[in-house]
Structure 1
Amino acid sequence: MRGLRIYLADGTYNGTVTMSSDSSKISAIRVTRENISNYENELGGPGVYLLLVGSNAIYVGQTGLDTIQKRIQNTHSGDIDSLWHTVLGFKFTDFTISSNELLFIENAMCEYVYAHGNRCLTTSPKKENCTRAFRKKHYHLSGVQIHTCENYIEDIKAYIAMFPAGIFPSLPELEEILHISGKKVEATAYISGNQFVVCKGSEFSITEMPSCSVHIRKHRKELMDEGKVQAGRFTEDVPFSSPSAAAACVIGGSANGLKMWLYPDGKSIKEREESTGIKQRY
């Protein structure tokens, strides 16, 4: 990309990032849910967007009628509206782009998400239809339109590649992300040194069960008073002394974190430790 401009709002790739290029008709932004109102111009046009959900799931969407900002504030399927924490928006300067062209590009980005190991939450198109052959046949575009769309797709991929640690930059490798099991809240976490860290965007139960200890009640109140938890969700990565302390704070009650936190393969921390003979140090 020629004439690439990157703006890091807090001086790092972990905060809001905006990108543009002299050689592209697309600009890009990655911004958290709570800050999207501050970037109306960057999200004020047609385009495609990726909603980041939890630590490894992505919803791919597009809009030509609304602006990206308005579209992502509308209804999506399932629990996406309550779970997404960050948006990657790709705004087009071409306001005449057709709905079929946007669908073509959306399809390609779904294929990209599937290929890179993340969970794609978009239900249409289906995974088996996210192919170049399907796109060329299904969306009834001319050869010139297909060529233009594929150039746009390459530009989007180039922007995504500019994030040095990936689009989930504050997290370790995806295969080591754990999730909480069998409760009404959804939360993810990872092990860092001797700390157990609950990920930003994880849910936090507002209600507390009778089994919630005085110590955990106090810790939960501190997290809310410090702004680390707002509106039932973690606003930043928060370290805990143990998986059980983390789980108890998340669910608002007594918890055995060694059994409740699961790796992607479905094994609990306890099961992983028993199978490997290696115990974590918290």
Structure 2
Amino acid sequence: MDVLKQSGVYFLFGTDDEDRAIVYVGQAGSRKNGEGLLLRIREAHPSIEYWTEAVMFTTSNNSFGPTEISYLENRFYNMAVQVGRYVVKNGNDPNPGNITEETESELEEFIDYAKIVMGALGYKIFEPLVSPAYPPDALEDGEREEQILYFSWGTAKATGKRTSDGFVVFRGSTIRLTENPSCPQRAIKDRQVYADEIKDGILREDLLFPSPSAAAAFVSGASVNGLLSWKNRDGIALKQLEEAGD
């Protein structure tokens, strides 16, 4: 298809050896030989070991120049890193380029459109793990009781929330740094992967886990039943809350 020979930005999706969702954000310029996006992916990413799906964005008239695609690549990369749903496999932060305010405004409209398309395709790469209103310090007492769950196990003190995607542990949670012999291997791997997100035992970013038990194991360094250990402000376990909601 001729459209795949144009300039634009692209996303490669897949999973790594640790079964984590990964993404690469790249750019491709038009070339004298008439090749663009598709050839760039073939040249720069010949291995299909990880990448299983690709999404590309361009324009109907091939109007993106080097400056525009550099700006878009940088913005998409940083948005994906900030949300944290995917491990972003770019080696470096892409150069944002130097654009005028008028061009920036136009490109931001394009970014808003791309976010809608990504969501419609089922890629939540730009959707926050939880609403910005969810962290405990941003909630009123009534909201906090209903939405936030608490975990306490030894030195571990955490807050989190069950979502449609799994279970989110909120930034600011205290992580127990030692690990019991019972600590699941998946939790040990998660602790290694997210080591940079823990400073002095405090979690610096919201993290998404596949289940309440996986979240509890990550926080405590032990095998813990998350349905029983995550509780609301009144001490009612998540299991009871979910049974009451059925």
Give the TM interval when normalised to the shorter protein: 0.3 to 0.5
TM-score between both structures, scaled by the size of structure 2: 0.41
